[in-house]
Amino acid sequence: MSAPRLPVTVLTGFLGAGKTTLLSKLLENNKQRRLAILVNEFGEVSIDGGLLRDGENQGVEIHDLANGLVAYDDDADFLPTMLALWQRRQQIDHVLIETSGLALPSAVMAQLQSEALAPYFVLDATLAVVDTPLLLAGHFAPAGDGGKTDAVAALFDQQLGHADIVVLNKIDALSADQLLAAEEAVRKQAPSIRFIELAYEAKLDTRLTLGLHLHEASPAAHRHYGPVASMPGLAMRPLANQTLLDGHSHGGQAAHSHGLATHKHFHEQDPGWQSFMIRSKEPQCADKLAAALQAIAREEPLLRIKGFAACADSPGRLLAQGVRSRIELSRDDTLAAPRQAQLVFIGYHPSRPRVVALLRDITGAHWS
């Protein structure tokens, strides 16, 4: 008898939706499964993989796949990494793949159905993480001008279109009416999704995330996923249709299928999406670095900023996170300072020279 296939969950979502934070907390709360994590980023260096490693998650394998090319036919890393995981299948219960914010999950989904991987892996579910405040503010709606806004809207639409589950993230300050409006917007844009999960405090319930078996080929059946109504955070959810969250899958959907004839990485079809890293060997003043990043976010068409820096007035590490105009700079004295500051900038036709100039002018440090 052949060994059972390893289940794979794909985590997709636009830049800054909070995928890595959700994944990190999922790992913290996971007590049952031995996990392997593949992290793909649109850039030359993985920042998110380092964040997950800093969590000291016991019994978790983390693999970085940089340059945003996960599951491309000519990718030199994805297929060997997956096959290596299969060789260690007795130590792994589940595989999680976090795609880059500019990726379409169809790339991974297609590879999992390929002759090379289909005998060993099966797609469990695809989750699309949404920055709910930005959704409500209309940031993912097309403008019709063929520019950045339309590029964002097109990618967001395709990510939702390939999802089984949509996770509404960053919702703690939202009202019940706002959550209902967000749910209605998602269902209007992606009517084929199975259900919506609300990630209060950026937390996912493993019972709604792993082990769902949404893509296993089997006869149409009335499938139960557990007593969802009793799960924390679900009873009070103001969803338009509570029956969608009653723990059942209806409609004879045995093997949920998606059209995979799509671009595998969005920047391939729209080269306006660009990513670059800027480095400095000098420790940074937190206030000056925050001011520099805020100025850059105001003046450049950037959608994502992330990275590390050594702190000038303590032995710890500064962590920079930016989504559009929202900039957060936190300090963690429990982590060793990096040897050099590394900041990744992702946007639509951003200017690297202008970003470097602003960093140098405001921080007083040398950046290149």
pLDDT single digits (tens) 209-251: 899 999 876 433 333 333 333 233 332 333 333 333 333 333 3
How much is the pLDDT for 266? 46
pTM of the model: 0.76
- My answer on whether 142 and 62 are in the same domain is yes
Total domains, the chain: 2
Q: Do 159 and 14 touch, CB atoms closer than 8 A?
A: yes
Does residue 52 surpass a pLDDT of 70? no
Looking at residue 77, what is its pLDDT? Answer: 80
Question: At 117, which CATH number?
Answer: 3.40.50.300
Supply 10's token pair.
């794909």
Query: Which of the listed residues 179, 206, 233 is the one where a domain comes to its end?
Result: 206
d(CA 70, CA 65): 7
Range of lowest pLDDT (27-31, 75-79, 97-101, 314-318): 75-79
Do 159 and 291 fall within a single domain?
Answer: no
Q: Are residues 331 and 190 in the same domain?
A: no
Cα distance between residue 368 and residue 365, in whole Å:
10
20 and 116, same domain (yes or no): yes
Q: Does residue 8 sit within a domain?
A: yes
Task: Say if CB 38 and CB 96 are below 8 A apart.
Answer: yes
Residue span of the structural domain in which 119 resides: 4-42+54-206
Q: How far is CA 201 from the centre of its chain?
A: 16
Q: Judge whether 89 lies within some domain.
A: yes
In a domain? residue 233: no
Q: What is the CATH classification number for the domain harbouring 278?
A: 3.30.1220.10
Rounded to whole angstroms, the Cα distance separating 102 from 84 reads 26
